[in-house]
Amino acid sequence: MAIIESNQLLTFKLGHETYGIQINKVREILTYPIVTPIPDASRWVKGVINLRGEVAPVIDLRVRFNINNDPIYTPRTIVIAVKTMDNRMIGLVVDEVSDMENVDLDRLYPAPDMGASIAPEYLKGLFKKEEKMIVILDIDRILDKDEMQRLSRQNVETQNVLIATA
């Protein structure tokens, strides 16, 4: 299980499920801004925004994890601006922000490998709130530069196969 540096989490929804990220990674929460598209980007990279003078890519986690492949963007769509371990600012599109949670780090459950849309290497663990499990995402692993490049190449190869078989 990945190490969690903070016991405070920001929870949010992707589809019907609740996820959490460490609050110390969050810089701000904003409504969906005007996004400048990037040609030939992966489907889940919506483009870039100017975030307090810094150009930040915007990644739709709903599309990235195949939770909603045809999302609608409205003024109610939420972007969570996070700062990665290597000091990159990135905007994450989510359905809604839920709450801030204090988590007892001794009571975390390890992330199971169930073949779900979110691979276990992207998870820090799970915690139970009332009768529901909340998945804690490893935002640094999800947004790792090498990992994003690998996924982009994989996405291009998949599109080329689909074009060739059509």
Q: Where are the domains of the chain?
A: 8-165
Question: Among the listed ranges 6-15, 16-25, 85-94, 108-117, which one has the minimum average pLDDT value?
Answer: 108-117
Question: Residue 82 corresponds to which amino acid?
Answer: V
| pLDDT the model gives residue 1 | 47
User: Rounded mean pLDDT of 145-152?
Assistant: 62
Say yes or no to pLDDT of 10 above 90. yes
Residues 125 and 32: beta-carbon distance below 8 Å: no
Q: What is the rounded CA–CA span in Å between residue 120 and residue 110?
A: 9
Confidence grade of residue 107 (pLDDT, cut at 50, 70, 90): confident
Considering only residues 106 and 72, tell me which one the structure prediction assigns the higher pLDDT: 72
| pLDDT the model gives residue 29 | 96
Task: For 8-165, give the CATH class.
Answer: mainly beta
| pLDDT the model gives residue 52 | 85
| pLDDT the model gives residue 142 | 84
Question: Residue 43 corresponds to which amino acid?
Answer: R
Q: What is the rounded CA–CA span in Å between residue 73 and residue 34?
A: 10
| pLDDT the model gives residue 128 | 85
Tens of pLDDT, residue by residue over 73-90, are 988 899 999 998 889 999
DSSP state letter for 108: P
Tokens of 15: 């589809």
Confidence grade of residue 3 (pLDDT, cut at 50, 70, 90): low
| pLDDT the model gives residue 151 | 52
Q: 22: burial class by Cβ within 10 Å (0-12, 13-18, 19+)?
A: buried
User: Rounded mean pLDDT of 140-150?
Assistant: 74
DSSP state letter for 4: -
User: Rounded mean pLDDT of 102-124?
Assistant: 74
Considering only residues 5 and 96, tell me which one the structure prediction assigns the higher pLDDT: 96
